[in-house]
Structure 1
């Protein structure tokens, strides 16, 4: 066990936290996220000191700063969005970004203080919004399992497992408003991922009705299996609401959705719009930063699959898989610290339109312009609070076809750093997700030196 953790820390360069256990397995007075971070760093610093002076230094620094931050009062009221944005821009200006350094800097600059750490912890371990054991008794009029159409790929998971991962809020109207299925990215469950951003869509407009899919293992397992949850959710929600749905994804969620649309053709007629935030449809050349090319590299399965040259990415892109299957709007930032390239038509987020269904590839630095706040430095996760992301998502769902920047008042949209309806806590909460991301990837445990084999249906 000791040597496994040593290898993981060296390979990933992310000595931050241990896995967060489900709420039901915790004591009556559970430790907070800050306590978890301090505990795991204390247990590995001796190993790091002997094997990696750099990681030892970073781990010690983060541990000490988390300890201090746990005792600090919230500075949210005394901070401003403008100053927080400027600080975050400085932290992520270096490319490629070292996530260990980034977390350390977030702590150093007072952007992750006691109150925010507790808030992140309460939602990270919440048995509701991140639950994978939800009770959804409604059955679609037309069965969607084991398949909806003969051409659909076979599921490897049972229907109860697939259905239980779908979290439907009490406010859901079952078709009175357009259902919006929120799909998470790698490292973080959907509930906490969207808590500070798109789960608030129902408060932002009367036409949207968000729900989300809590893919087990924080989407760190085989992305082909992750896509099964997406395919099932699309057909299930469309079936019980008797309406077409919108799908909004972040990060790997874009890959999962595109894979589902490709290999479960029945989903295409049920999706009116697909909005992908920071997707890596072409993989990322920065994957080696997480999974370096050492003699015996170790990765989580889905991270290995997201390498730019992986078999998974090649399989997805084959036969026009790099073209949209439904009206699609993608949004991406040049300053993405996880996915690269992310500029222009060579961006990993860029989709073609071979099927003439309608595609909008929105490079925020181009659409808003670097001189505008909405086109400034946005991180991979920061695109969740980018005002253009929100405006184009809503525009896409409210109209036929993808989002169209020409329908927006870009001077107004791009003059803000945050989407309308979000505040400083949402900005800092979203950036604070990096701490949870590091914890989950370190705690995954089922490391692999190779990506999972391509499923038979996709060969």
Structure 2
């Protein structure tokens, strides 16, 4: 429900607010009550200004995003029409590799829209996804595992703080799932911050995997859209990995995006039972070492949500993940990590110091691939951003290679001459790219605002 309230705010704010100077926060906020739309402005006043104590700059960013969304919906912004145009537009908003310059996610989302990288129907698209079953975290999965995995499958597994009912119901199993009865590898899709998996992968990997003859996807919609404590988010991941493997009788593959990489790596570290049943871990835009940027922390501290604070470079959670005798800075299972040096959310993402880079002290097999290095000077190594990696052709090719071979995906087995000449993964088009951009960045901005609003006073 929190998302509906925030979306209603953005969709229904009166044009008069955009023509009104941003108020001095110390002034009487009743001046915001205009004759045009007192209801929505009251929501803005009470929810954002009074409850969140937003500063003038943040308020301006909210108004700027709202203005861009209205212009987009009114057809005042020209959309890109080809992948080539999309990458040209991306180059205008990309950060430099290894940058430490912070980019507020509201600013990023606004610039994305203004540069034609979101479809005209973005607001309608987001609204249509809010109540879709594919985003449900209350699913009725009645099939019991072949052997108990709760409260523990392995003696060294960490205890769960969530009930088995809640852990199981977050797993979305589409009607097309074949439950291991074919040669297709069951693939579990793990979302990033502020977005359910159903939305995250709908225009990319859900589409690609469903159209393939090698993989059978299911996904995990973590309650709170992964904005809560990563340690709890990882419980859902650990349970889901064991559950899908158990009901299919197969080893599974796991694909993550963004924070999902940390969730999976934490689960593999603290639930050892998961290691034997995960044949391939494939991570996109992961931040295993955290990020030096504050892009996703769009609200002033301490109003930044739990998982966002935990993803700060060298946070207590990141140090814990990396440390100890079972250090999570190295892979636990065959791992293919693919990332972009132009990531606007996670930095650094270049060389062995990249946040997505994992070691291989256990000898399980790891491929760390920065697309600009593998496809230097070619379209597949272009200015892909954090979310654009979901449609990157080299990432898809490496994941196919990993699924169809033992060990991680290997560049030596990929036809780089062909793959690096592509702009999006085969089977995807410019619409998929634009919809992925809109359903990640814009959706994430709104949902993070809504989460913070709902949890203000909870010690965020």
- Name the TM-score, length of structure 1 as normaliser: 0.85
Paired positions, count: 419
Structure 1: give runs of 5+ residues left out of the alignment.
Answer: 1-17, 452-459
Instruction: Tell me if the contact between 2:292 and 2:348 (Cα under 8 Å) persists in the aligned partners.
Output: yes
Instruction: Tell me if the contact between 2:118 and 2:437 (Cα under 8 Å) persists in the aligned partners.
Output: no
Instruction: Tell me if the contact between 1:300 and 1:447 (Cα under 8 Å) persists in the aligned partners.
Output: no
The two structures, once aligned, show a CA RMSD in angstroms of 2.6
Write the distance in 1 (CA, Å) between the matches of 2:309 and 2:115.
33
1:209-224 matched pairs, under 5 angstroms: 209-224=216-231
Change (3 A) 1:359 1:63: same
Change (3 A) 1:186 1:260: same
Change (3 A) 1:56 1:221: closer
Structure 2 residue aligned with 1:92: 94
Partner of residue 65 from structure 1, selected from 65, 68, 73: 68
Change (3 A) 1:254 1:56: closer
Post-superposition Cα deviations, 1:384-404, rounded to whole Å, max 9, x if no partner, equal 111111011111111100000
* 1:306 and 2:311 aligned: yes
Change (3 A) 1:61 1:74: closer
Structure 2 residue aligned with 1:247: 254
Post-superposition Cα deviations, 1:4-40, rounded to whole Å, max 9, x if no partner, equal xxxxxxxxxxxxxx9413xxxx9xxxx9x5x542436
Structure 2 residue aligned with 1:321: 328
Structure 2 residue aligned with 1:397: 403
Partner of residue 109 from structure 1, selected from 104, 115, 134: 115
Write the distance in 2 (CA, Å) between the matches of 1:206 and 1:340.
35
Shift of 1:57: 4.2
Partner of residue 373 from structure 1, selected from 361, 372, 379: 379
Structure 2 residue aligned with 1:205: 212
Structure 2 residue aligned with 1:276: 283
Structure 1 residue aligned with 2:30: none
Write the distance in 2 (CA, Å) between the matches of 1:41 and 1:90.
30
Change (3 A) 1:288 1:235: same
Post-superposition Cα deviations, 1:25-59, rounded to whole Å, max 9, x if no partner, equal x9xxxx9x5x5424368798779432455445443
Shift of 1:113: 4.2
Q: Name whichever of 208-217 and 140-149 sits farther off.
A: 140-149
Shift of 1:178: 0.6
* 1:150 and 2:151 aligned: no
Shift of 1:263: 0.5
Write the distance in 2 (CA, Å) between the matches of 1:261 and 1:402.
16
* 1:349 and 2:356 aligned: yes
Structure 2 residue aligned with 1:434: 441
Instruction: Tell me if the contact between 2:321 and 2:328 (Cα under 8 Å) persists in the aligned partners.
Output: yes
Instruction: Tell me if the contact between 2:139 and 2:170 (Cα under 8 Å) persists in the aligned partners.
Output: yes
Shift of 1:92: 2.2
Instruction: Tell me if the contact between 2:208 and 2:427 (Cα under 8 Å) persists in the aligned partners.
Output: no
Q: Name whichever of 375-384 and 106-115 sits farther off.
A: 106-115
Change (3 A) 1:272 1:113: closer
Shift of 1:367: 1.0
Write the distance in 1 (CA, Å) between the matches of 2:109 and 2:209.
31
Change (3 A) 1:288 1:109: closer
Secondary structure in structure 2 of the residue aligned to 1:331? strand
Structure 1 residue aligned with 2:179: 174
Partner of residue 244 from structure 2, selected from 237, 240, 244: 237
* 1:50 and 2:24 aligned: yes
Instruction: Tell me if the contact between 1:228 and 1:260 (Cα under 8 Å) persists in the aligned partners.
Output: yes
Change (3 A) 1:70 1:352: same
Shift of 1:321: 1.6
Structure 2 residue aligned with 1:10: none
Structure 2 residue aligned with 1:3: none
Instruction: Tell me if the contact between 1:153 and 1:264 (Cα under 8 Å) persists in the aligned partners.
Output: yes
Structure 1 residue aligned with 2:195: 188
Write the distance in 2 (CA, Å) between the matches of 1:387 and 1:39.
38
Write the distance in 2 (CA, Å) between the matches of 1:306 and 1:220.
11
Write the distance in 2 (CA, Å) between the matches of 1:352 and 1:41.
52
Shift of 1:70: 2.0
Change (3 A) 1:84 1:244: same
Write the distance in 1 (CA, Å) between the matches of 2:146 and 2:348.
43
Post-superposition Cα deviations, 1:382-436, rounded to whole Å, max 9, x if no partner, equal 1111111101111111110000010000010010111111111110011112111
Secondary structure in structure 1 of the residue aligned to 2:209? helix
Shift of 1:109: 3.2
Secondary structure in structure 1 of the residue aligned to 2:24? helix
Structure 2 residue aligned with 1:457: none
Instruction: Tell me if the contact between 2:105 and 2:298 (Cα under 8 Å) persists in the aligned partners.
Output: no
Write the distance in 2 (CA, Å) between the matches of 1:384 and 1:83.
18
Structure 2 residue aligned with 1:128: 133
Structure 1 residue aligned with 2:12: 39
Shift of 1:103: 2.3
Instruction: Tell me if the contact between 2:109 and 2:445 (Cα under 8 Å) persists in the aligned partners.
Output: no
Change (3 A) 1:63 1:245: same
Structure 1 residue aligned with 2:83: 81
Instruction: Tell me if the contact between 2:233 and 2:263 (Cα under 8 Å) persists in the aligned partners.
Output: yes
Instruction: Tell me if the contact between 1:213 and 1:233 (Cα under 8 Å) persists in the aligned partners.
Output: yes
